[in-house]
Amino acid sequence: MKITNGLVEQHIHGAFGVDFMSSSVDEILNCSERLLDYGVCAFFPTIMTDSIEKIKERIEIIKEAKNKQGKKSAQIAGIHLEGPFINPEKSGIHQKEFILPLEVELFKQIEDDLIKIVTIAPELDLSGEFRNYLKSKGIKISLGHSLGVDFTNIMQVTHLYNAMGSFSHRGKSTVTASLVNDNIYIELIADSMHVSDDVLRITFKQKSLEKILLISDALPLAHSKSDCMVFAGQKIYNKDSKLVNKDNIIAGSSMLLCDIIKNLADKNILTFESAINCASTNQLKYHNLKNTLKVYWNDDYTVNKTQMI
């Protein structure tokens, strides 16, 4: 049996049937308690592209849940705002009608101290004013749902390879820029569906492991008994553990971080210890968080139990 620190989910939309875009305070609290059993010590509820009114409502709900949390739960460490300041050409399952231009005054309408990460398309911030403002507020700026290669004031990349310009051997691309820039952290959904196993192996060889942040990008369908749910204004289906909409566009993941660690270790894509570093150690340091959990793992890389510390 192995013992590790707790995991940090910095990009998660829900789990166990709980959707952070529609759930009540009590449902979020229940979800945070259950995440503890899956080895998570802290998480960043991730808000999708939606109307300003809806985003403001969700922020208030998540804040209320955070204020009511007990010790025996994964702690809400902040909010990851994934949209609406993204590129419509790389919207994925985000609702295009709610995408907004990168204007400081628009951000101020939803601004809150609990927002710690904001995913943006920097190529639409030509003056750099939007990024400068986010940086002045201590927000981690993530390049995502984007065709950009300008990393000015960018700290990380949202789910590398997904919803961005693809690899090009003849010019600059978001992917290559992310891999060769040693100052940039990358989020990676290593569920073998969002990114193939061979590309995962290439990524772990090319990018410093200290700059890799494993994420689940889990949807409410993760560890849920349902095989279909409405998410981001559309039906999302679970097809053999792959979550897609009616057009077969891949959505988030059906896995949590502990499942992703098992996937990597089982396939010898990454050692268990390195996977833990990318799912725990790196995030704790990156977000300046204190670990509050001991996680006990079985020999088959499943979580046996967790213990608060």
Give the per-residue pLDDT at 165. 85
What's the longest Cα–Cα distance across the chain? 53
Query: What is the 8-class DSSP label of residue 166?
Result: P
- Residues 6+ away with beta carbon under 8 Å from 184: 151, 154, 155, 156, 157, 178, 211
Burial status of residue 3 (CB atoms within 10 A of its CB: 0-12, 13-18, 19 or more): exposed
User: For the chain, what are the domain ranges?
Assistant: 2-308
Look up the CATH architecture of domain 2-308.
Answer: Alpha-Beta Barrel (3.20)
Give the per-residue pLDDT at 206. 96
Q: Rounded to whole angstroms, how far apart are CA atoms 143 and 153?
A: 10
| β 2-5/7-12 pair status | unpaired
Half-sphere exposure (Cβ direction) of 293: Cα atoms closer than 13 Å? 28
> In a structure prediction context, what are the per-residue pLDDT tens digits for the chain, which is 309 residues long?
999 999 999 999 999 999 999 999 999 999 999 999 999 999 999 999 999 999 999 999 999 999 999 989 999 999 999 999 999 999 999 999 999 999 999 999 999 999 999 999 999 999 999 999 999 999 999 999 999 999 999 999 999 999 998 888 888 889 999 999 999 999 999 999 999 999 999 999 999 999 999 999 999 999 999 999 999 999 999 999 999 999 999 999 999 999 999 999 999 999 999 999 999 999 999 999 999 999 999 999 999 999 999
Q: How far is CA 6 from CA 236, 244, 281, in A?
A: 30, 29, 9
Give the per-residue pLDDT at 172. 85
Q: What radius of gyration do the chain's Cα atoms show?
A: 18
Q: Taking the complete model, does pTM exceed 0.85, yes or no? A: yes
Query: What is the 8-class DSSP label of residue 94?
Result: S
